[in-house]
Amino acid sequence: MQLPLLPAVIMGTLALGLSVFAFHQSPALAWTGLRNGGSLLLGVLPIIVAAVVVSGLVQVFLPREFVAGWLGSEAGWKGIAIAWLMGSIMPGPPYVVFPLAAGIYKAGAGVGPMVTYMTAWSLIQFTRVPMEMAFLGPKFTFIRLGSIVIFPPLAGLIAQQVYGRLTTP
């Protein structure tokens, strides 16, 4: 089985299992869950489609040499730093960020910068900082950021050293 198909099979199996379980509890419960899921799908589907289109266009419009020069395996610290910044300021949920990251990776970005990008996006994401400060306070927010800010470039450097010679998909 191809790797991209595996998550779909796992999620499909989980959805089917939960649907059967819900139906056995109460058919109304199952239909409510399906309606809720359908509403969510209708809300995010346009965003997912747009993100996938952007991913494809990134691969077409960004010359491979340009991406490789700035974010390729040979870009060194420059690629790690750019990816760190990009990931830290990139807003959006996974269904937007992952297709865009895939487009950049397929356009020639190296493993190290891509690991840095994804790690910075998942750990730092400065666009969340105002909300975090509002709910948890500035002191906590600065402690959290100070504690994790080094991890994205560190993860990227480790990935670059261990897996750096991988070719892009």
pLDDT tens for 69-80 read: 999 988 889 999
pLDDT at 163: 86
In our burial notation (b when 16+ CB lie closer than 10 A, e otherwise), range 23-36 reads eeeeeeebeebeee
The predicted model scores a pTM of: 0.77
Task: Note whether 96 and 117 are within 8 A (CB).
Answer: no
Name the residue with tokens 């499909």: 12
Q: Is the pLDDT of residue 68 over 70?
A: yes
Under the banding of pLDDT at 50, 70 and 90, the label for residue 157 is very high
At 11, list the tokens: 């999620």
pLDDT tens for 79-109 read: 999 999 999 999 888 888 998 899 999 899 9
Query: Count of CB atoms within 10 A of residue 134's CB?
Result: 10
Sketch the domain layout of the chain as residue ranges: 1-60, 62-169
Kindly compute the dihedral angle of the four CA atoms of residues 158, 161, 166, 168, in this order, to the nearest 10 degrees: 60
At 17, list the tokens: 């299992």
